[in-house]
Chains A and B, each alone.
Chain A
Amino acid sequence: MFLFNLSLPEFLAILGSLSGLTVALYLLDRTRKNHTVATLRFFAAAEKPPVLKHRRKLQQPWSLLLQLISLLLLLLAIAQLRLGSPARYSRDHVLILDDSAWMASRFGNARSGNARLIDQARLAADSYVNALPSADRVMVVRADVLATPALLFESDRKKIHLAIDQTQPGAAPLNLQQALDFAAQAQRVQAQRPGEIVFVGAGRVSSEQAARLAAPANFRWIGIDGPTEHVGLRKVSVHRAMDDPDVWEVFIAAKNYGAVARSIPLVVAFGGSPVATRRFELKPAAEEDLTFRFKTRAAGWLEARLSTQDTFRQDSRAILELPARGALPVTIYSSEPDLLRPIFTAIPGIEAKFLPVSSYQADARAAPGAASGIVLLDHFAPPSPPTAQSIWLEPPADRSPVPVQSTQQKARLNQWQADHPLGAGLRARDIELASAQIFRPALGDIVVARSDAGPLIVARPGNPKIVVLGFHPVRSGMKFQLTTPLLFANIIRWMAPDAFRSWELTAGTVGTVDVELESEIDPNAIRVQTEEGRSLPFTVEGKNLRFFTGAPGVVRVLTGDRELVYSLTLPQPGDTVWKPSNVKLGLPPRAPLGPTSRDLWHWLAIAGAIGLLVDWILYGRIDRRMRAARGAGAGAAGWSSWRKAS
């Protein structure tokens, strides 16, 4: 018989303290007795300050004895009293089960039935658990890119085997260092008597990780041998070409993980039609890449496929969903369309439609030949304002959306709002305008350009957005300036940022993803979210954005007008198998069958609880209630001798 949680001196000290406290509380009668009396007037004459009354002798010794015994039993239960020999101490082991993507590999032969590595790993883990003494506790940790505890320290073999059997290969590579750190931490914090840290799996990690790995002293390695030859895709990346937005630039990298040179054909298809083929001649441990361009405005699936017969096929195929490239419709109501045509045909990504003023309709989509998007009103103020975003050029003074303060002849544009996207990159100064309207902006309006007399270009945020120009840029001195198309491009970008959004799609592996940003961006303007719209935490350090995801799927990174889509489905298995040295290998010998210690705390806790319940029923408040229910008449004197005061 021995105490598991407490040493004997600790146990005796706690028991002595609690018993002394119980007896002291028992002797110190602090209980107030409630009575209903006919009148308080005579008590006033007898009144004296309340004082604590100390008992000089035990009135209910059996009650006190029952309480002390119950206390002893409960304390023994907390101390986990056990029957048996202390030599049979149980130990707490951490079983790290490799559930990385590589564990889905099959090793085919007739005897194994083309089983997966994970099946063999589960068998080995079950064998290890069966070899342990029955009192030993095991924590099951599933290790891929994250170490996830599947079961806390548990001695119930059914639960342990269930946790092992429910382990399935994931889609991530193995991060063994993190799993070892986690196991050591769990043993430090939660284990009563640390046992072994056991790894069961293929142990395929990156060569950098393998170089840094250090096995702990209590480490046991149960390796699962898998296939050695494998070729897989490492990365697939697609983005629009800078020179032609209709062209996609594709980058594909493949790696030979084996020790034998391989010649593997690659087929890239878009919408089921091949767009590129290539045969990779891969030397052992070598990586090759392919870059090519293809043109399409349509949306569709881009599939890269390696034609291999490897047993691990999760990284032989990658699929990316390419978005369609749409053009932003801009409807221009003007009586002089030829003036504005060169500007709007020069801006890529928009589809300008010129209509006469007479065909104006408030809903741009309702106008014949018009489309929704942005409406431009040239020297024209419609009876009902447009429902879409609108650009107004020199509107009539009495019907301008932004009140016209005055009209100035020979105005001089000398200031741009350079810190706002609408004025970004506009530097032309001292532009003389033959005639210009000076506006009186409202609160919240943005003054994009101004002269000495006042605002010349005013933008009004909201829905819909409005930009009003107090002059016609083509008729003025700005006609031959680069500022003119840039100004309209800024306005359209401000009104419809999606129209200029650049796309970049990458197929990679789950885990930590580093993103190279074009410039230093305010982190508040960045969103990293999953396909379901759930935001992911991320860090930004200079031009480097970093986020982590432990599950395969699509992650979108939105940084202003740039959207990066990460299809994190490529497993990227490690390129080397870690072989630890100076550690225990394989399954341990089966523990000798013999008498083991028996847990008694369940029964001790139940007995203690019953003792307290009996004390409460016999001597406690329930007894008083029963007496009260029986009536104060008969037997009151008889019961009073049993009355408990504490």
Chain B
Amino acid sequence: MKTEPLIDSAFLEKLERLAIRWQKSFPGLVGGHNISRFAGPGQEFLDHRQFHHGDDLRAVNWRAYLRLEKLFLKMFQVEPRIPVRILLDCSNSMTTGAVSKFDYARKLAAALCYVGLVRLDTICIQPFGQDLGDSFLCGGGRHRFIPAVKFLEALKPGGRTNYFQIARDFIAGYPQRGLLIVISDFLDDAGCERPLQYLADFGHELILVQVWADEDRAPAWDGLLDLTDAETGETLEIGFDDAARVNYTQAFDAHARDIQRVGLRNSGRYVGLSTATTIEEAVFGPLARAGGLE
């Protein structure tokens, strides 16, 4: 049976004018498109400073020396190539809802991957659940997009989320700081705020994309409910009505605000997306407005 493609070509054409943006300055190789506040071997002039012993003589401003008889060194702005990593939640909680959050997250990851490849960024797709799964690294242009799509299509949801374990493994496995886009529902009973804080403290810039289904935020059910947790299998028997729904939604929104607070206070960004929002609307709307893309 032929499955629906993750992303269609018309949408890809629209994505070509976008670029992934980050706010922090990271050390990296020359060749990127985001300006760094670090000086280095760039093309754009940044500033002058006093010459010190050992500086490169090629950067000495000889015209200033002839006029002032002092050695000044020209500094240039560097545009480094920074790794962009996409953490994709593949736990069982992503499978609930009328529209699968997992499919939605995969499409969103594919779109971001294409945007990064077009700008010659290096993209690492890192699925996770209980642990970090096998990652997929691509870079060097849009022609590397098809393998990335195949990788995303081959992913299967399963297991439960453990953000502490993920943060610990990620910090150990990726020592180079960079942009970290987390696409998840951020539903970990142990809490995900502190692990996200650890990732930010390590030096990564976070873009937190929270995906939810409408049932996750405001369940439409009434009466006696037998509920089963998709990840833990725990069950709960409750009576549910309009008042309970209001309480539920308030609790969910509070959780979303906690996630947003973690993102924003670490100079990162937060985007909350319902699966009812189309990928195109999400990319050109909330994601672009948050500054993740421009």
Complex Cα gap A33–B227 (Å): 8
Given the known A-B contacts A46-B240, A48-B238, A632-B98, are A53 and B229 also in contact in the complex, defined by CB atoms under 8 Å? no
Tell me the chain B residues, 74-105 only, with Cβ under 8 Å from chain A: 93-94, 96-99, 101
Q: Determine the chain A residues whose CB is within 8 A of the CB of B234 once the complex forms.
A: 40
Given the known A-B contacts A43-B238, A46-B248, are A32 and B229 also in contact in the complex, defined by CB atoms under 8 Å? no
Q: Are A32 and B244 in contact (CB under 8 A)?
A: no
Q: Are A31 and B239 in contact (CB under 8 A)?
A: no
Q: Are A46 and B189 in contact (CB under 8 A)?
A: no
**Chain B, residue nearest A39 (CB):** B187
Given the known A-B contacts A38-B185, A39-B189, A632-B98, are A50 and B239 also in contact in the complex, defined by CB atoms under 8 Å? yes
Q: Are B187 and A46 in contact (CB under 8 A)?
A: no
Complex Cα gap A33–B225 (Å): 5
B contact patch SS: mixed
A636 CB to closest chain B CB (Å) equals: 5
- Interface residue B201 (Cβ < 8 Å from any Cβ of A): no
Q: Are A53 and B224 in contact (CB under 8 A)?
A: yes
**Chain B, residue nearest A41 (CB):** B189
- Interface residue A633 (Cβ < 8 Å from any Cβ of B): yes
Complex Cα gap A52–B241 (Å): 12
A334 CB to closest chain B CB (Å) equals: 90
Complex Cα gap A211–B232 (Å): 87
Q: Are B230 and A29 in contact (CB under 8 A)?
A: no
Q: Are B239 and A51 in contact (CB under 8 A)?
A: yes
Complex Cα gap A507–B79 (Å): 125
- Interface residue B228 (Cβ < 8 Å from any Cβ of A): yes
Given the known A-B contacts A32-B224, A50-B237, A645-B223, are A43 and B248 also in contact in the complex, defined by CB atoms under 8 Å? yes
Tell me the chain B residues, 124-143 only, with Cβ under 8 Å from chain A: none
**Chain A, residue nearest B248 (CB):** A46
Q: Determine the chain A residues whose CB is within 8 A of the CB of B94 once the complex forms.
A: 38
- Interface residue A524 (Cβ < 8 Å from any Cβ of B): no
Tell me the chain A residues, 345-372 only, with Cβ under 8 Å from chain B: none
- Interface residue B280 (Cβ < 8 Å from any Cβ of A): no
Given the known A-B contacts A45-B247, A632-B98, are A37 and B239 also in contact in the complex, defined by CB atoms under 8 Å? no
Q: Are B244 and A41 in contact (CB under 8 A)?
A: no
**Most interface-central of A33, A40, A632 (chain B CB within 10 A):** A40
Complex Cα gap A34–B238 (Å): 11
B205 CB to closest chain A CB (Å) equals: 27
Q: Are B225 and A35 in contact (CB under 8 A)?
A: yes
Complex Cα gap A39–B244 (Å): 16
Q: Determine the chain B residues whose CB is within 8 A of the CB of A633 once the complex forms.
A: 98-99
Of B222, B231, B237, which contacts A39 at CB under 8 A? B231
**Chain B, residue nearest A636 (CB):** B98
Complex Cα gap A290–B142 (Å): 125
**Chain A, residue nearest B224 (CB):** A32
- Interface residue B252 (Cβ < 8 Å from any Cβ of A): yes
Of B99, B228, B241, which contacts A37 at CB under 8 A? B228
Given the known A-B contacts A38-B187, A633-B99, are A46 and B244 also in contact in the complex, defined by CB atoms under 8 Å? yes
Q: Report B271-290 CB contacts with A as 1/0, cut-off 8 Å.
A: 00000000000000000000
- Interface residue A47 (Cβ < 8 Å from any Cβ of B): yes
- Interface residue A594 (Cβ < 8 Å from any Cβ of B): no
Q: Determine the chain A residues whose CB is within 8 A of the CB of B13 once the complex forms.
A: none
- Interface residue A61 (Cβ < 8 Å from any Cβ of B): no
- Interface residue B172 (Cβ < 8 Å from any Cβ of A): no
Tell me the chain A residues, 43-102 only, with Cβ under 8 Å from chain B: 43-53
**Chain A, residue nearest B188 (CB):** A39
Interface size range on A against B: 20 to 34
Complex Cα gap A50–B226 (Å): 10
Complex Cα gap A51–B222 (Å): 11
Q: Are A43 and B236 in contact (CB under 8 A)?
A: yes
- Interface residue B24 (Cβ < 8 Å from any Cβ of A): no
Of A30, A40, A51, which contacts B236 at CB under 8 A? A40
**Most interface-central of B99, B226, B227, B228 (chain A CB within 10 A):** B227
- Interface residue B198 (Cβ < 8 Å from any Cβ of A): no
- Interface residue B153 (Cβ < 8 Å from any Cβ of A): no
Q: Are B224 and A50 in contact (CB under 8 A)?
A: yes
Complex Cα gap A46–B250 (Å): 9
Q: Determine the chain B residues whose CB is within 8 A of the CB of A50 once the complex forms.
A: 224, 237-239
Complex Cα gap A48–B241 (Å): 9
- Interface residue B65 (Cβ < 8 Å from any Cβ of A): no
- Interface residue B255 (Cβ < 8 Å from any Cβ of A): yes
Q: Determine the chain B residues whose CB is within 8 A of the CB of A47 once the complex forms.
A: 236, 238, 244
Q: Are A31 and B224 in contact (CB under 8 A)?
A: yes
B42 CB to closest chain A CB (Å) equals: 46
Of B96, B243, B244, B247, which contacts A38 at CB under 8 A? B96
B26 CB to closest chain A CB (Å) equals: 34
**Most interface-central of B213, B221, B251 (chain A CB within 10 A):** B251
Complex Cα gap A40–B230 (Å): 9
**Chain B, residue nearest A47 (CB):** B238
A88 CB to closest chain B CB (Å) equals: 53
A221 CB to closest chain B CB (Å) equals: 70
Given the known A-B contacts A33-B225, A38-B93, A38-B187, are A45 and B248 also in contact in the complex, defined by CB atoms under 8 Å? yes
Q: Are A46 and B223 in contact (CB under 8 A)?
A: no
- Interface residue A463 (Cβ < 8 Å from any Cβ of B): no
**Most interface-central of A30, A42, A48 (chain B CB within 10 A):** A42
Q: Determine the chain B residues whose CB is within 8 A of the CB of A636 once the complex forms.
A: 98
B160 CB to closest chain A CB (Å) equals: 10
Complex Cα gap A123–B244 (Å): 82
Complex Cα gap A41–B222 (Å): 18
Of A31, A32, A36, A53, which contacts B237 at CB under 8 A? A32
Of A31, A33, A37, A51, which contacts B229 at CB under 8 A? A37
Q: Determine the chain B residues whose CB is within 8 A of the CB of A29 once the complex forms.
A: 223-224
- Interface residue B216 (Cβ < 8 Å from any Cβ of A): yes
Given the known A-B contacts A39-B93, A633-B98, are A33 and B189 also in contact in the complex, defined by CB atoms under 8 Å? no
Q: Report A624-640 CB contacts with B as 1/0, cut-off 8 Å.
A: 00000000110010000
- Interface residue B245 (Cβ < 8 Å from any Cβ of A): yes
A51 CB to closest chain B CB (Å) equals: 5
Q: Determine the chain B residues whose CB is within 8 A of the CB of A36 once the complex forms.
A: 96, 227-230
Q: Report B95-117 CB contacts with A as 1/0, cut-off 8 Å.
A: 01111010000000000000000
On A, residues with C-beta under 8 Å from B are 29-53, 632-633, 636, 645
Instruction: A40-B232, A48-B243 are known; give 20 further A-B pairs, CB within 8 A.
Output: A32-B237, A36-B96, A36-B227, A37-B96, A37-B230, A38-B93, A38-B94, A38-B230, A39-B189, A43-B227, A43-B236, A45-B248, A45-B250, A46-B247, A46-B251, A47-B236, A48-B238, A49-B239, A633-B98, A645-B223
On B, residues with C-beta under 8 Å from A are 93-94, 96-99, 101, 185, 187, 189, 213, 215-216, 219, 221-232, 234, 236-241, 243-245, 247-248, 250-252, 255
8 smallest beta-carbon distances between A and B, as pairs: A38-B93, A45-B251, A46-B244, A46-B247, A46-B248, A42-B251, A39-B187, A32-B224
